[in-house]
Structure 1
Amino acid sequence: MQKEQEHTNLVWFRNDLRTIDNAVLASACNSENRVIAIYCFDPKYFAVNKHGFKITEKYRANFLIETTTDLKQQLAELNIDLLIYYALPESIIPEVCTNYNVTDIYLQNDWTKDEMAAENAVKSKLENITFHKEYNQFLFHPEHINFEISKTPQVFTVFRKKLEKYVSIRETVSIEKRSEENQIENKTVIPTLQDLGFEDFKTHPQSAFPFNGGETEAIKRLNDYFFETKKLGFYKKTRNGLVGKDYSSKFSSWLANGSISARTIYWKVKQFETEHYKNQSTYWLIFELIWRDYFKYVSMKHGSQIFKLEGILGKNYDWSTDKTQIDKWINGETASDFVNANMIELKQTGWMSNRGRQNVASYFAKELQLDWRIGAAYFESMLIDYDVHSNYGNWMYVAGVGNDPRDRKFNVQLQAERYDTNGKFRKLWLHPSLF
């Protein structure tokens, strides 16, 4: 049992659900205190938003259950207990702090509004507890970049060129196993899909993302994609694909909830280049990780402006909120068969290719001239790999209120002809009986 006088470090897991290269966990373990961990399935994230969408739909909810199940096992191997609750953090964390004599809380340094609101709600209920926050989600750590965050370039290419040749990537951190005395009695239970308000479902047989959540599965995918099949070596040629699990790395879902770190992927690319070869494809995977960082820095610089209709450019367009048009887009009933196929894929699997996302978002904002934030909220609900920074950054970008001064519009018909030349993708989702 817990000794009354023993001090405890509490690791509050949020979107950093891993043990490998977890700077927050490493800091917490760098002391003599007992270390325990907590994850809250926050009921707010399973509520319905103002647009009528569940903030988290069944696909990401299931992925999160799998992820926390795996995290609990990985932490147990380090003799660290993960307490899991379906409750508001501000209602349960103070109780845990009292029960286990918590003196210090360790957590990922987040800055977006929902995360900050949760953190402030918890702090308001606590006294005499020290909070330790670490940036745990970047490739280029904010302490290492060569410009002030407030001066983050408006154009991605400028951002990339400032960093990629001049700023080094930190090495990954490791965590030592703790003694068995570190363990506590842990009777908490991971919620089921039913607990969260969903029915059980099976992954669609044609899903391009047939993977489970969790660090173990992320590392398995990395080893398969890089070292066993060497698909990494063809990534640049195949990344605009639409059908199957191997046209792209599919790391985004694990990156989104932090069950793998960008640095782990980066250093494994470097290992591949040393052991096998270096080409445009190996570089391009790192290039995509830099894009991911970019949207994080954009959201740090601009704060809640990324959620506003005028975006970070402050541009005003005549946006519509026509529910009939929105529903047709959601249900794959628009005038574009390419848009429809992508939207049906999303609805049935929780996944859509990068190429598909750019096209359906452009169609929503530029063709239908609908309020882009509604499209972004639908993606937030449905996507397994939803990431607040990339999602809102990309939606602003295609809507013409973000980081692209050219304000482009996708010609979805030409895109379909180029990327789905033989119509295989459209047949798969519009005429599934043919498969």
Structure 2
Amino acid sequence: MASKGRVVICLLRNDLRIHDNEVLSWANKNGNYLIPIYCFDPRHFAGTYHFGFPKTGPHRLKFLLECVKDLRKNLTARGSGLVVRQGKPEVVISELVQKLGVDNVHAITYHQEATQEELDVEKAIKESCGVKLVQSIWGHTLFHKDDLPFPVSRLPDVYTQFRKNVEGSCRVRQCIDLPEKLNPLPEGIEDGEIPSMEQLGLQEPPSDSRTAFPYEGGETTALERLNYFLWDTDAVATYKETRNGMIGADYSTKFSPWLAHGCISPRKIYFEIQRYEKERTANKSTYWVIFELLWRDYFRFVALKYGNKLFYQSGIQGKDIPWKQDKELFKAWKEGRTGVPYVDANMREVAATGFMSNRGRQNVASFLMKDLKLDWRLGAEWFESMLVDHDVCSNYGNWLYSAGLGNDPREDRKFNMVKQGLDYDPEGEYVRLWVPELKNISGGSVHTVWSLSKNILSKAQVSLGEDYPNPIVIAPEWARHAGKARGGGAQGFGGGRGGRGGGPKSAGQKRGIDFYFKSS
């Protein structure tokens, strides 16, 4: 028999932390007993909507399980616990209410989400659980939606207008502090086991020493990373210069996987950077992290404004573009077998580690849509499956942006794969790291392997079409840079800046490297 008294059930989804968690705070203040609960929803382990890829792939699932384990540890340390169940949240919570007795359940609370599947869960909870008080709270963004200088329905369709309006008139709300001692679980409610990957239908992926994201999930590691990037190394002070890197852990913040799972609060990052600026230095780099957090906010508000248009083939622009869905071309792209080394290196990295740099994401997206002419949704759903930092609003918002179907539309946002490779991997180190078939080809010439002489290829022990594919497409603009590649590298812009090639200058600078497509 469960303990009698005011019980508050707190559904946790993409908010797997204790710090700055208003849902936990509200639940703890309004009940005698607290039930934080996480549900492994079977719908999250089905196929993606259009193409049936595993919605939660192995890398993201491994990270998620680590997040849930860490949250349970942290809640238990404060005298509470984390109830874990496998099942649809609306069904699990209804059964929990019946077990406790509806008169004993004071309220159900959760953080509001922005897209349809999550909103359907919220609606079902309200309709099926029999509890009169259902408290939803907005808490995923840096700026609260109620503090915006305009209603979401009038959100500017250009990010710069949004940013200037918000920066000029909004303040960031203070973080929520939780007490050191939280209310306990009611008697008779078992914690439940956290399932294994195998129980959820996936095998644990092997680790890869080449990864740029060698971190575990969870609030504990997220806060350690924040401290490391700011206070231990001062890396934040040079972030704007290094953020377009591709190898190693420290070229960018790497906050995005923890932000996506709610292991770290954007407000926590904001106020920690404010403190860093006050105590150490304030410059363009420290501001740029905030700039990227605002992009993350923007895409969530875009999702609120446009709803399911975010997932339409025609996007929020409603444009009819004759995309292809060629299975063989897509297979070559996703497996990193296109014959374009810069593209292949990035696609192999994400397959092996669940992570890819901002620069890589922009380029492989452009290649899929502008060079192969494939349906942008193929890429969006593949990223949804593969990436440890998948965030539905940022992922689909960024793909629409790149396709010219979303915000800040421009007609020809196409990246030049060879120029980009030479600008951001001038000596070919990144390509050789992930495409070992080409390890004997020196310098930047690795980016245009198809243009090398038979003699050079023979000496490098590369037979095109056998050891490494011939390119499935060659864009005419690539030829302009082949000479630079054969010369051992191109003159880039230095420090990882600029170098978009074949697209508007702003396209490569815009969205935040750490907070999704821009996410690394």
Aligning the two structures, in what range does the TM-score lie when normalised by the shorter sequence? over 0.9
How much has 1:411 moved relative to structure 2? 1.1
> Where do 1:159-174 residues align within 5 Å?
159-174=162-177
CA contact (8 A) 1:10 1:35 kept: yes
Q: Can you list the C-alpha shifts for 1:373-427, whole angstroms capped at 9, x where unaligned?
A: 1110000000000000110000001111011222311111111110011111111
Counterpart secondary structure, 1:292: helix
Task: Tell me the TM-score normalised to structure 2 length.
Answer: 0.81
Equivalent residue, structure 1, for 2:491: none
Structure 2 residue 192 is matched with structure 1 residue 193: no
CA contact (8 A) 2:82 2:191 kept: no
Structure 2 residue 421 is matched with structure 1 residue 422: no
CA contact (8 A) 2:7 2:186 kept: no
The match for 2:113 among 110, 113, 122 is 110
Equivalent residue, structure 2, for 1:26: 25
The match for 1:410 among 391, 408, 415 is 415
How much has 1:264 moved relative to structure 2? 0.3
Equivalent residue, structure 2, for 1:60: 60
How much has 1:180 moved relative to structure 2? 6.7
| d(CA) in 2 for partners of 1:392, 1:211 | 25
Matched to 1:318, the amino acid is P
CA contact (8 A) 2:62 2:197 kept: yes
CA contact (8 A) 1:81 1:183 kept: no
The match for 2:246 among 238, 242, 249 is 242
| d(CA) in 1 for partners of 2:190, 2:136 | 25
* CA gap 1:94/1:422 in 2 versus in 1, 3 angstroms: same
Counterpart secondary structure, 1:53: coil
Equivalent residue, structure 1, for 2:3: 3
Structure 1 unaligned residues grouped into runs of 5+: none
Task: Tell me the TM-score normalised to structure 1 length.
Answer: 0.96
| d(CA) in 2 for partners of 1:411, 1:323 | 23
Counterpart secondary structure, 2:172: coil
> Which stretch has the larger CA shift, 96-105 or 380-389?
96-105
Matched to 2:147, the amino acid is H
| d(CA) in 2 for partners of 1:427, 1:108 | 44
CA contact (8 A) 1:16 1:258 kept: yes
Matched to 1:154, the amino acid is D
How much has 1:186 moved relative to structure 2? 2.6
How much has 1:178 moved relative to structure 2? 3.6
* CA gap 1:327/1:179 in 2 versus in 1, 3 angstroms: closer
Number of aligned residue pairs: give it: 434
CA contact (8 A) 2:114 2:300 kept: no
| d(CA) in 2 for partners of 1:338, 1:328 | 13
> Where do 1:280-319 residues align within 5 Å?
280-319=284-323
How much has 1:181 moved relative to structure 2? 5.5
* CA gap 1:289/1:321 in 2 versus in 1, 3 angstroms: same
Structure 2 residue 222 is matched with structure 1 residue 218: yes
| d(CA) in 2 for partners of 1:182, 1:339 | 50
Q: Can you list the C-alpha shifts for 1:61-95, whole angstroms capped at 9, x where unaligned?
A: 01010000000111112222211012121221111
Counterpart secondary structure, 2:68: helix
Identity rate of aligned residues, in percent?
A: 42
* CA gap 1:433/1:70 in 2 versus in 1, 3 angstroms: farther
Q: Can you list the C-alpha shifts for 1:199-224, whole angstroms capped at 9, x where unaligned?
A: 23332111101100000000000001
Q: Can you list the C-alpha shifts for 1:82-132, whole angstroms capped at 9, x where unaligned?
A: 110121212211111222332311100112011012222333322133110
| d(CA) in 2 for partners of 1:258, 1:389 | 14
Structure 2 residue 374 is matched with structure 1 residue 367: no
CA contact (8 A) 1:321 1:371 kept: yes
> Where do 1:267-346 residues align within 5 Å?
267-346=271-350
Counterpart secondary structure, 2:378: helix
Matched to 2:111, the amino acid is Q
Matched to 2:149, the amino acid is N
| d(CA) in 2 for partners of 1:333, 1:18 | 39
| d(CA) in 2 for partners of 1:2, 1:432 | 62
Matched to 2:11, the amino acid is W
Structure 2 unaligned residues grouped into runs of 5+: 441-520
CA contact (8 A) 1:102 1:129 kept: no
Superposed CA RMSD: 1.6
| d(CA) in 1 for partners of 2:91, 2:131 | 17
| d(CA) in 1 for partners of 2:177, 2:324 | 50
